[in-house]
Structure 1
Amino acid sequence: MDFARPNGYVEQLIFIISPAILSESETLMSHLADALLEAQLQFFMRDFASPTLRHHLECEAEAYCDLLETLSARELLNEAQVIAWIERNILNYSPTDTMREQAVMLVELGLNNPSHQQQPMRQLINKQIYDLMVQRLVERPALRQELIHSALSSPLYTRVLSDVVYHSIVDYLTTDNVIARRVPGFSALVKAGKGMLGRMGRLDETLEQAIKAYLGRNIAATAAFSESLVDKALNNNAIVQFAELVWPRLEAYQLGQATRHLEIQGLSYLAVLYWNQIRQTDYMNQQIELLVQAWFAHAGDMPTMHLLRLLGIEREHIVREVVEIGEPLVNAWRDSGYIERRLEEHLARFFDDPATQRLLNTQETLPT
């Protein structure tokens, strides 16, 4: 040691004992950090314990509702974010076989429930709703006429009508029916016609060609005439009267009878195939984008809480559901030790952070 150098002894002494001082300081700081971590951990855990948990959840829900009073829907999520979420989680989702089987199992259990089999239809549709449905139909004659026209002007209907008229004419001309017997000489005429056509050969083919040629020229007019008859028959009074006659049978109709022909396995498979096809189309993407943008144009700038009120969701509803769902969920997290482990990990990261260590070191050196 250089004892001759001024203050050399002191410097050497400090050099010798400084590691011990630093080590003690670090130990004290470590103890302080551990104590603070434990104090904060216990503080938060008290918030998550009954009976303070319910109060804590209520306070947090109220605070969030206060925030929703000031933020618009667009400030929370914009159009692009909502569209992207729908694309990621709905349009890009392909139902798995397991998901489909689970859905089928639940539906079949519901349909096979003995109480479902014997449940009358009036449990689903009461007379008031039924009358409103009939009234809506009565108030829309243009829609009714369009439906009748679409059905009766279709190629399927004209083919059926042509076949019905054809067989009716053939049956009338070739059968010695009651009407023919009442007309003097008509029966003999039919028999003579049969004999003549029989000598010509191919009776059925000759009749068919002649009658179908006639129907081909006149079936459009016949279909239009039947359309006018149906439209006239389905007037407002007739619909109301028919609905009144149907209701007593409908209300007593058992749900088991209505669903006995449902084949859930096949329907579910068809539904998945259809969804996987349509979700990948440009049409679906365009519809999603159009609808989301239209909704934001209409309501995106409203305060979110005001918008929720317009939808029938009040502040007390939100607070109630946060408490009712949050309390058992947080209790399960707390009892399993999950919350304490997560809090301890985050607090340890905070106290191990160099900035926190510097603050604690500064606190240690402040004068008392």
Structure 2
Amino acid sequence: LQHLWTFEQIQQLIQKQILETPASDFLLEQIAEHIRFALIHPANENTTIEDVIPVLTIDRIAQYVASKEEHRKKIIKTIVNNPAFSALLTQLIQQTMHDYLDESMSKRVPGVGRFMKMGKSVLETVTDSNLDDTINHYLQKNILKLSQMSERVLNQHFDNDKLYHFQANIWHKVKSMPLSVLKNYVEVQDLSKTVGLGHEIWDHIRQTSYLKQQVHDGVYTWYVRNQERNFDLLLRDLNINESLIQHELTQLLVPVLQQLVTTGHLR
């Protein structure tokens, strides 16, 4: 490789053709069209999820995810200590207590439920205000304890064995579904918009110094590892071997070369 192509040449080519060149509108249209075609293909109706995804791979994934106990605990700790989780927990407890008291009072004292739901009732205003203050005061004092309790419960509920069986149960529920169910989660008619949004992200990141540095260092690392390898071995990495070139590529290229010769374009 190093006898024919330098690192700088490879880097400049990628820089010019990929990082500095925006994707064409036609390419974006084709991407959206191919995704749409794959989603609406009639074969999806008669092909189930387990027909295209091997169950042994799913099982290995489930075992792998379930085995990451320490990583899972860190994620749970991060979630329960987030202010958004505390706010959600507070609202959930408040609403649950309100619903419980309303239902309890309605069952024990017939007619009182309707009375307490009167929107502008002084009694309701005072009662709700006092109740909300009491609950809020309790939760503010104990939110840390409640978060720690939530963390313990989540860790117990998602231990290695339970998480594995949880994933297995999901697989058994979805494995017999046809692939056409994907249309329930992807808006086919909006593909041009969603593909466009994805392109906006790429179009921005390709121009950042961050990606330029990543590409530069990645290409350099690859080049250092491969600069003393023959092109024959590099092509084999792409499943291109001598047999393929002799038979498949020759049949493809000969008509192209003949066309170049007869039209005078090659000259």
C-alpha change, 1:122 and 1:275, in structure 2 (3 Å) is same
Task: Decide which of 154, 167, 172 is 1:248's aligned counterpart.
Answer: 172
Q: Of residues 69, 77, 80 in structure 2, which corresponds to 1:141?
A: 69
Contact in 2 for aligned 1:134/1:240 (Cα 8 Å): yes
* 1:157-168 alignment runs, 5 A limit: 157-168=85-96
Aligned to 1:304: 231
RMSD: 3.0
Corresponding residue of 2:220: 293
Unmatched 5+ stretches in structure 1: 1-72, 182-186, 346-368
The question of 1:323 aligning with 2:247 is answered no
Select between 298-307 and 285-294 the one with higher mean Cα deviation. Answer: 298-307
SS of 2:134's equivalent in the other structure is helix
Normalised by the size of structure 2, how large is the TM-score? 0.82
- Contact 1:79–1:293 (8 Å) recurs in 2: yes
Segment of structure 1 superposing worse, 309-318 or 149-158: 309-318
Number of residue-to-residue matches in the alignment: 256
Deviation at 1:313, TM superposition (A): 4.6
Residue 211 of structure 2 corresponds to 284
| TM-score (normalizing by structure 1) | 0.61
Residues 246-292 of structure 1: per-residue CA shift (max 9 Å, x gap): 22222112222123331312211101211111111110111111111
Q: Which runs of 5+ in 2 are unaligned?
A: 117-121
Given the superposition, is the C-alpha separation of residues 142 and 311 from structure 1 closer, same or farther in structure 2, using an over 3 Å criterion? farther
1:61-116 deviations in Å (ceiling 9; x for gaps): xxxxxxxxxxxx22222221111111111111212333322322222122122222
Distance 1:77 1:170, change over 3 A: same
List aligned pairs for 1:125-274, cutoff 5 A.
Answer: 125-176=53-104, 202-263=126-187, 264-274=191-201
The one-letter code of the counterpart of 1:291 is G
Structure-1 separation of matches of 2:14 and 2:207: 13
Counterpart CA distance in 1 for 2:233 and 2:39 is 41
* Mapped contact 1:111–1:117 kept (Cα < 8 A): no
Corresponding position of 1:99: 27
Distance 1:199 1:268, change over 3 A: closer
Say whether the 8 Å CA contact 2:62–2:168 is kept in structure 1. no
Q: Residues 128 and 273 (structure 1 numbering): CA distance in 2 closer, same or farther, change over 3 Å?
A: same
> Aligned equivalents of 1:273 and 1:201: distance in 2?
51
Aligned-residue sequence identity (percent) comes to: 22
Q: CA deviation at 1:121?
A: 0.9
